[in-house]
Structure 1
Amino acid sequence: MIQLYKNGAWLINGTELVEDSPEAKAQIQQKYDKVVPGKEEAGKNTIAYSILQAHNTSDNMEDLKIKFDKLTSHDITFVGIIQTARASGLERFPIPYVLTNCHNSLCAVGGTINEDDHMFGLTCAKRYGGVYVPPHQAVIHQFAREMLAEGGKMILGSDSHTRYGALGTMAMGEGGPELVKQLLGRTYDIKRPEVVGVYLTGKPVPGVGPQDVALAIIGAVFESGYVKNKVMEFVGPGVENLSADYRIGIDVMTTETTCLSSIWKTDDKIKEFYEIHGRGGDFRELNPKEVAYYDGLVYVDLSQIRPMIAMPFHPSNTYTIEELNANLMDILEDVEKKAQISLDGKIPYTLKDKVKNGRLCVEQGIIAGCAGGGFENICDAADILRGASIGADAFTLSVYPASTPIYMELAKNGVLADLLQTGAVVKTAFCGPCFGAGDTPANNALSIRHSTRNFPNREGSKIQNGQISSVALMDARSIAATAANKGRLTPATEYAGEYRRPVYHFDGQIYENRVFDSKGKADSSVEIQFGPNIKDWPSMPKLTDNLLLKTVAEIHDPVTTTDELIPSGETSSYRSNPLKLAEFALSRKAPDYVGLAKEIQKAELAREQGENPVKAVPELEGVWSKIKEACPEADVENTGIGSTIFAVKPGDGSAREQAASCQKVLGGWANIANEYATKRYRSNLMNWGMLPFLIPEGKLPFRKGDFIFVPEIRKAVEEGSREVRALAVGETVTEFTLGLGEMTEDEREIILQGCLINYYRAK
């Protein structure tokens, strides 16, 4: 089904594979009668390399300085981004910047604050020259597919699922500060990423959808980190057997592999997609050159993929539905054991009570968002459900088309009526079910969803309130087959009926009527409309000569998600208010974190005001005495005091910068980890002036409650040191080493200045 090459791979004429070996070049030359370049040169023949090269503003393809063509944000990120850019000197949007409103669309929490954010976005689009997409019109990524993507271009978005590779656009999801850099004319600075080929062959069998293919790939690559921070390039003859919608459905889920970005070869089906949307001129045919080299390869036989399910609580916890049904109790037992790691044993959790008459029964189905809400997904689901009923019991089914143009076409071609007749509910374009702000199931319920993630509490329940429900990810087709069986888990391959596959007609008049487009013209006379919840960032100190950090959280889960660092759901309403949002930091994982961080922050606030920090936090007296014994040169006046957390592998999941900024506004100076789950989370830390420390696995000389003294940290950052000396101060004082990892010159300067805002003010 899926094979990961142990070595790199050569692709010949876009179709033939040769795994790398000492004999590979000679074999290729003999078989294909071609002059074969070296790996380095052949690596430049990928689609990814050509696009990166076209957008690199440096004279060095090893150290990239990328300028993107367009930017996208939604309503739980754009306020903070624009506020940061305004504080740093923003005068106008230098490139197209689209502000969508698909996360806090319901305006259901906190009184006026969500709609205040929307009006802030509208007035900023007018003042600075942007595009504003009102609530319920489209989810961010569908609007980008329909209106923004272009062959060979690059888009940067402040949402982790910013992926438009199937349309020939290399897109990346990053934290807000990276968009701020683009708004201020700066660049996205990274080492040239490796490129991993994803070679598709064969054709999916009826009933297997894009989510099935995506989950199979995620399950194969996630744990090993095979594509982590790399570009996935989809090639091979199997691509031609997939429609544009199908490719899009696979592509959007590449985020869950932890890759940096994705790109696909393009053909007439993608050209047709652009033409349907009235943008035929934006198509560009993309293919690797005759002989291309990939740093790794994922071989996917589409004909062998079967309906998949990702069990709680991660998209990589995958099984075929057939395998699950055949080994039900054993697999559920394993899922429950894994769940207790994520839940810290804080709450009883079982799925075995879902088994009735030997079948797994679920209470809810959702087809939604950037992954599930596509036209073909919904039409195929409707075909499976046609003439059936979802029943009058606990099971419910909600469908969210990804844009109003899709919704209108479903109304015109009768699919909407087919769905409603079954008892399903069809709602407007909204991302809520994906992050816990819509269709929260009942306590102990299991929901099956064609959406992007199934982390704990991402469906809206709250462990801290004694609630638990969970999500399994599936394709829309198998969700429909399950719905037709009143909630009994059923793979869509059991459906023997016909898929009608109606033709899609895009009606752009909807957007012309409702979307504000400045056409790039800024109007400085427009006053920005604020609300009482929209607050400026608090002042943040520069990095001091030394640091004294209290460890206020210690997390030993294999992976810590951004949802656990700062919860999603209703907390999203407070993302325009840094201090209010910070009150929720780590609330699901370490409920005492906020209080502990605030307590030690008192010392730093006193120090900044010229007062004695020991008086503000008396426990520092004994700690400081031990530090002076070990480091007589230590200076309390130039030692920043604050908090840090340890987590094995933090940052999986969302691009949300608030996972880092909330720690910062509570006095955080650093994270300490064995590794960082994603490049974007590590970047978020540095953009907020926090040190991304590293420590080898299994070598932890401190525990929660201990202090860590890091002498001469400012000097180490200035000099680009890769390691720094540190002292763990507990019952005894233990010297150890913290890694700093590789940083660009700008990243070091941002940390020295204290955050990105300070950096730009200094400029």
Structure 2
Amino acid sequence: MGMTMTQKILAAAAGLDKVEAGQLIEAKLDLVLGNDITSPVAIHEMDKMKVQGVFDKDKIALVPDHFVPNKDIKSAEHCKCVREFAKKHEITNYFEVGEMGIEHALLPEKGLTVAGDVIIGADSHTCTYGALGAFSTGVGSTDMAAGMATGKAWFKVPSAIRFHLVGKPAKWVSGKDVILHIIGMIGVDGALYQSMEFVGEGISYLSMDDRFTIANMAIEAGGKNGIFPVDEKAEAYMREHSSRPYKIYTADEDAVYEAEYTIDLSALRPTIAFPHLPENTHTIDEIKEDIAIDQVVIGSCTNGRLEDLRTAAEVLQGRHVAKGMRCIVIPATQSIYMQAMEEGLLKTFLQAGAVVSTPTCGPCLGGYMGILAEGERCVSTTNRNFVGRMGHVNSEVYLASPAVAAASAVLGKIASPKQLEA
């Protein structure tokens, strides 16, 4: 019986020739990640362990991004804790305001994640790096503490589901639509503690930004991780951004999968997740009544990358957001912010009546920079739309792609770019 991509990576990290689903292993870590919310808890746990230092100052990344720049006194104290820890232990990859970004966009951009890596992060969307052929998964702050101290972590080897992607997506259909379609199909627990492995010729039509988005939301289907094969696009990305060596793993022909699905990308339509679960999906064609909205957010670790901003700007070019509408655009990193400025995208957003924020997770988790009041509705390119996720428990969040979000901002209701052409 063969191994999946994920199983091969974990076997190598555990120093084993073979692993099987359900097996408990201890694996070496290539990177341990924390942010301004989760790192302080891990730091306090390390204090309890009475360890003298970290396992490797170059293999820890601390990215204050959730309530940064500091929202209030409590968030300032959290960031101070992380800052002092980073200074004490000479953490190489600590990113202060002015150089930080949203962690899951920043780390690949900085070349800290490559194929074959085993990465844990005290943030559930750490599964993003599977787009590069790495095994990456979210853990609790206690596991992060143990990882920083020892450079190792315990895992139960996951079984896998394989998704065959075929066909070429139409214009205005992106990676966000692909993953929302999949979550709508299998449910928020459809891949519970399983590896979601994406294969097929359709992958060649997906940009790296598309793949980051899909891997990022594997957790929204309950997945342990999401992972893509390493092709020319992935290798080109890693060569551009990283000087680290990488290792490509491929699944065995006789690898075992719990289930297999075929997704025809050419048949997909812009897809929206209605409140209050990512599985509550509807295509734009299935929406028969106008759904008025109050706010649009374009950004986050899911859709704040350059390609996302270019798409939103293409929709907003020469148009204006609806009267009374709030449209908030958040580039995911300083580099993306700079490139968007150089390309004139920020000017397009401002002329359209949107506002542009410094990189932050802010509104995604109901932190700041876009809190919803009672009864308000938001179309957001973020990854979760649980009750109260972005503010009041009686507010509503609709998850969508940057194209749908931008079109919705213009019309003041959930809409696709094609409706602007009518």
User: What TM bracket, shorter-length normalisation?
Assistant: over 0.9
Match status 1:132 vs 2:90 = no
What residue is the counterpart of 1:691 in the other structure?
none
Q: 1:494 to 1:440 in 2, by over 3 A?
A: same
Given the alignment, which residue of 382, 400, 410 partners 1:474? 400
* Superposition deviation, residue 49 in structure 1: 1.8
Residue type of the alignment partner of 2:406: A
Letter in 1 for 2:38: T
1:384 and 2:315 are equivalent in the alignment: yes
Residue from 361, 386, 399 that aligns with 1:455 = 386
Distance in 1 between residues matched to 2:214 and 2:151, nearest whole Å: 32
2:301 is the counterpart of 1:370: yes
Distance in 2 between residues matched to 1:149 and 1:495, nearest whole Å: 39
Deviations 1:525-580 (CA, angstroms, capped at 9, x unpaired): xxxxxxxxxxxxxxxxxxxxxxxxxxxxxxxxxxxxxxxxxxxxxxxxxxxxxxxx
* Structure 1 residues 265 and 407: CA distance shift in structure 2, 3 A: same
Residue of structure 2 in register with 1:315 after alignment: 278
Matched, 1:237 2:201: yes
Tell me, what secondary structure is at the counterpart of 1:125? Answer: helix
1:197 aligns with 2:162: yes
Is 1:183–2:148 an aligned residue pair?
Answer: yes
Equivalent pair of 2:102/2:332 in contact (CA under 8 Å): yes
Residue 66 of structure 2 is aligned with which of 99, 103, 117?
A: 103
Tell me the CA shift for residue 191 of structure 1: 3.0
Structure 1 residue 187, shift from structure 2 partner: 4.0
Q: Distance in 1 between matches of 2:275 and 2:386?
A: 7
Structure 2 contact 54–150 (Cα < 8 Å) conserved: no
Are the equivalent residues in 2 in contact too, given 1:459–1:471 (CA < 8 A)?
yes
Deviation at 1:276, TM superposition (A): 3.0
Deviations 1:446-478 (A, max 9, x none): 1000001111111122x4xxxx21111111101
State the Cα deviation string for residues 198-225 of structure 1 (Å, max 9, x = none).
11111111011221111111111125x3
Distance apart, 1:90 and its partner CA = 2.1
Q: Please state how far the C-alpha of 1:495 moved relative to its aligned partner.
A: 5.8
TM-score by length of 1: 0.52
Query: Does structure 2 retain, via aligned residues, the 8 Å contact 1:307–1:493?
Result: no
Residue aligned with 1:162, SS: helix
* Matched AA of 2:342: K
**CA offset at residue 115 of structure 1?**
2.2
* C-alpha distance in structure 1 between counterparts of 2:246 and 2:404, whole Å: 33
* Equivalent residue for 2:417, pick from 492, 500, 520: 492
Structure 1 residue 285, shift from structure 2 partner: 4.2
- In the alignment, the residues of structure 2 paired with residue 104 and residue 480 of structure 1 have an alpha-carbon distance, to the nearest angstrom, of 25
Distance 2:8 2:362 in 1: 36
Is the contact between residue 101 and residue 334 of structure 2 (CA under 8 Å) also seen in structure 1?
yes
Identical residues among aligned pairs (%) = 30
Aligned runs of 1:163-312 on 2, under 5 Å? 163=127, 164-185=129-150, 187-222=152-187, 225-277=189-241, 279=242, 281-312=244-275
- Asked whether the 8 Å contact 2:8–2:251 carries over to 1, the reply is no
Contact kept, 8 Å, 1:161 with 1:255, in 2: the verdict is: yes
In the TM superposition, what whole-angstrom CA distance separates every residue of 1:479-498 from its partner, at most 9, and x where no partner exists? 1112222x12212344669x
Secondary structure of the corresponding residue to residue 115 of structure 2: coil
RMSD: 2.0
Aligned match of 1:417: 347
> Given residue 449 of structure 1, which amino acid in structure 2 is its aligned partner?
S
1:414-439 deviation per Cα after TM superposition (whole angstroms, max 9, x unaligned) = 11111111001111111111110120
SS in 1 for 2:97: coil
Q: Using the alignment, how far apart are the partners of 1:377 and 1:491 within structure 2?
A: 15
Q: In 2 relative to 1, CA 443–291 (structure 1 residues): closer, same or farther, beyond 3 Å?
A: same
Q: 2-side partners of 1:232 and 1:269: how far apart?
A: 20
SS at match of 1:316: coil
Give, in whole Å, the separation in 2 of the partners of 1:258 and 1:471.
Answer: 20
How many residues in Structure 1 have an aligned counterpart in Structure 2? 412
Distance between the aligned counterparts of 2:245 and 2:304, measured in 1? 24
Deviations 1:580-619 (A, max 9, x none): xxxxxxxxxxxxxxxxxxxxxxxxxxxxxxxxxxxxxxxx
| Residue of structure 1 in register with 2:114 after alignment | 150
From the superposition, tell whether residues 115 and 191 of structure 1 become closer, same or farther in structure 2 (CA, over 3 Å). closer
CA–CA distance in structure 1, aligned partners of residues 326 and 108 of structure 2:
29
**Partner amino acid for 1:299?**
T
Distance 1:186 1:98 in 2: 13
| Partners of 1:198 and 1:260 in 2: CA distance | 15
For residues 244 and 55 of structure 2, the distance between their equivalents in structure 1, rounded to whole angstroms, comes to 23
Instruction: Using the TM superposition, give the Cα deviation of residue 59 of structure 1 relative to its aligned residue in structure 2, in angstroms.
Output: 8.0
The CA distance in 2 between the partners of 1:60 and 1:422, in whole Å, is: 56
1:274 and 1:282 in contact (8 A); partners too: no
The aligned runs of 1:721-736 (5 Å cut-off) are: none
- Distance in 2, matches of 1:108 and 1:243, equals 34
C-alpha distance in 1, partners of 2:79/2:15?
Answer: 34
Match of 2:363 in 1: 433
Does the CA-based 8 Å contact 1:207-1:495 persist in structure 2? Answer: no
User: Deviation string for 1:161-185 (max 9, x for gaps)?
Assistant: 0021011111010111111222232
C-alpha distance 243-191 of structure 1, shift in aligned 2 (>3 A): same
Give the Å deviation of 1:69. 0.9
Give CA deviations for 1:349-402 in whole Å, capped at 9, x if unaligned.
xxxxxxxxxx221111101110110110110110011000113x2211101010
Determine if contact 1:71/1:179 at 8 Å carries over to the other structure.
yes
Please say if residues 308 and 320 of structure 1, whose CA atoms lie closer than 8 Å, have aligned partners that are also in contact: yes
Letter in 1 for 2:382: S
What amino acid does structure 2 have at the position aligned with 1:235?
V
* Corresponding position: 1:68 with 2:29: yes
- One-letter amino acid of the structure 2 residue matched with residue 221 of structure 1: I
1:271 and 1:165 mapped to 2: Cα distance?
Answer: 13
What is the rounded CA distance, in whole Å, between the counterparts of 1:294 and 1:493 in structure 2? 38
Going from structure 1 to structure 2, the CA distance change for 1:67 and 1:493 (only over 3 Å counts) comes to farther
- Assess if the C-alpha contact under 8 Å between 2:297 and 2:329 holds in 1: yes
Distance 2:166 2:254 in 1: 19
Question: Aligned residue for 1:94?
Answer: 55
2:6 aligns with 48
Q: Report the CA distance between 1:271 and its aligned residue.
A: 1.8
Please list the CA deviations of residues 147-172 of structure 1 after superposition, one character each: whole Å capped at 9, or x if unmatched: 21111111100000002101111101
Separation of aligned partners in 1, 2:397 and 2:300: 15
Amino acid at match of 1:167: L
Inter-CA distance 281–82: structure 2 relative to 1 (3 Å threshold) = closer
Residue identity opposite 1:134 in structure 2: E
User: How many Å separate the matches in 2 of 1:187 and 1:51?
Assistant: 14
What is the identity, as a one-letter code, of the residue corresponding to 2:377? Answer: L
Q: Aligned partner of 1:247: which letter?
A: R
Structure 2: any 5+ residue segments left out of the alignment? none
**Higher normalized contact order (CA 8 Å, seq sep 6+, divided by chain length):** 2
SS of match in other structure, 1:84: helix
Structure 1 residues 173, 201: CA separation in 2 closer, same or farther (over 3 Å shift)?
same
Task: Provide closer, same or farther for how the CA distance between residues 489 and 226 of structure 1 changes in structure 2, counting only shifts above 3 A.
Answer: closer
Question: Matched residues in 1 for 2:82 and 2:265: separation?
Answer: 43
Q: CA deviation at 1:286?
A: 4.3
Q: In the aligned structure 2, how far is the partner of 1:80 from the partner of 1:281? A: 30
**How far does residue 292 in structure 1 lie from its aligned partner after superposition?**
3.8
2:373–2:391 Cα contact (<8 Å) kept: no
| Letter aligned with residue 207 of structure 1 | W
| TM-score, normalised via structure 2 length | 0.93
Q: State the match for 2:45 in structure 1.
A: 84
SS in 2 for 1:98: strand
AA paired with 1:303? S
Q: How far apart are the structure 2 equivalents of 1:187 and 1:287? A: 23
